Amino acid sequence: MICVESVPATEAFPAHIAPSASQPADVSTCTSVIASGTEISNPWIVSAEDGQTLAYAIVLVWIIAWSFRVLADLVRDSTPAKENE
């Protein structure tokens, strides 16, 4: 976590913050705190087990969609076509 403080507004930057000059050991004393880059987790980094579960889910959805398509083709082919009179 990084302690930040408000910086006086200027015409170029109406409102912004900057890191405090000295970072305290205990961030609970800060008025404003932001997470540093190392503390933010990347949602695309998954373990091998999570990746395997995700792959199974994708394959399962594909199989279900393919089954519905085959079923729709069967229903469409079994329905007699109406002839124009």
**Cα dihedral sign for 51, 56, 59, 60?**
negative
Question: What stretch of H or E contains 7?
Answer: strand 2-7
Q: Where are the domains of the chain?
A: 2-36, 45-79
Over the stretch 40-53, which tens digit does the pLDDT of each residue have?
667 777 889 999 99
State the Cα–Cα distance between residues 23 and 38, nearest whole angstrom: 16
DSSP β-bridge partners for residue 4: 19, 32
DSSP β-bridge partners for residue 33: 3
| Token pair belonging to 60 | 């399962």
Is the pLDDT confidence value at 85 over 60?
no
Over the stretch 17-70, which tens digit does the pLDDT of each residue have?
666 667 767 767 776 777 766 666 677 778 899 999 999 999 999 999 999 999
Percent of the chain with pLDDT over 90: 29
